[in-house]
Amino acid sequence: MKNMKRAAKRGQYHHGDLAAALVDTAVELIAERGVAGFSLAEASRRLGVTVAAPYRHFADRDALLAAVAAKGAGELATAVVAQTHGLTTEAERLAAGALAYVRFAAGKPALFQALFAAGLDKHKRPELEAAAAPLLEALCQPADSLCGGVPDSGKDLTLAVLATCHGHATLLLDGAFGPGPEAVEDAANRAAAATRALVAGRDALR
């Protein structure tokens, strides 16, 4: 009775698609308090639902977290792929991917953190690897093209670019590039530039 108000305010998820609603609410919550501060109980409260209800849709807290992470992996891959379209050189496609990667981390930190900072056993959640596969592929294709003959060198370049993007993204979220939207573009541009440098100096990879 008392929590009916909240449910009404927030849009009556009762008997709707609670699973999806929980994912959305989890994203909100993580954005506000970080992954560690997220709880099933609080998410339930926000949706005007009992703490028992989520267990009909997710085995436990980590399962919901994994669903958020999978959504993040999909959206990140989509964002990167979208940016790499319509560019002429392979190097520029990689650089554009780097830009998109860092911007995504800054724009949807909750999804990014669920994917990377939630401490989920990715080995035990093959869905996540599957959701992340398109991202790998989007970077792998230009890299392979650039590295033509040499075996494995496409993979080496892909991994180097990915790690560089990831480093810029995580340092950015950690505040190492300073505050504000200006820091986001700075970090993104640096990641893109570093990607170009990796491409230019790729003979030194392995």
Partner DNA sequence: GTCTATATCCCGATAGAC
Partner DNA sequence: GTCTATCGGGATATAGAC
Nearer to a second copy, 83 or 158 (CB): 158
- Please report the DSSP string for the chain in residue order: --THHHHHHHT--TTS-HHHHHHHHHHHHHHHHTTTT--HHHHHHHTT--TTGGGGT-SSHHHHHHHHHHHHHHHHHHHHHHHHTT-SSHHHHHHHHHHHHHHHHHH-HHHHHHHHSS---GGG-HHHHHHHHHHHHHHHHHHHHHHTTSTTHHHHHHHHHHHHHHHHHHHHHTTTT-SHHHHHHHHHHHHHHHHHHHHHTGGG--
Distance CA(55)–CA(60), nearest Å, equals 7
Q: Indicate which of a second copy, DNA, none lies near residue 60 (CB less than 5 to 8 Å, by partner kind).
A: DNA
Answer yes or no whether residue 35 interacts with a second copy by CB under 8 A. yes
Contact range with a second copy by CB under 8 A, out of 1-9, 31-39, 44-52, 67-75: 31-39
60 binds DNA (CB under 7 A): yes
15 lines the binding site for a second copy (CB under 8 A)? no
In the region spanning residues 147 to 176, those forming contacts with a second copy, defined by CB under 8 A, are 156, 159-160, 162-168, 170-171, 174-176
User: Which of DNA, a second copy, none has residue 199 at its interface (CB below 5 to 8 Å by kind)?
Assistant: a second copy
Q: Indicate which of DNA, a second copy, none lies near residue 121 (CB less than 5 to 8 Å, by partner kind).
A: a second copy
- Shortest reach from residue 69's CB to DNA, in Å: 16
Residue 202 interacts with a second copy (CB under 8 A): yes or no: yes
Rounded CA gap, 90 and 79, in Å? 17
Q: Report the interface residues with DNA, using CB under 7 A.
A: 1, 13-16, 18, 39-42, 48-53, 55-57, 60-61
Q: Report the interface residues with a second copy, using CB under 8 A.
A: 34-36, 116-117, 119, 121-123, 156, 159-160, 162-168, 170-171, 174-176, 179, 189-191, 193-194, 196-206
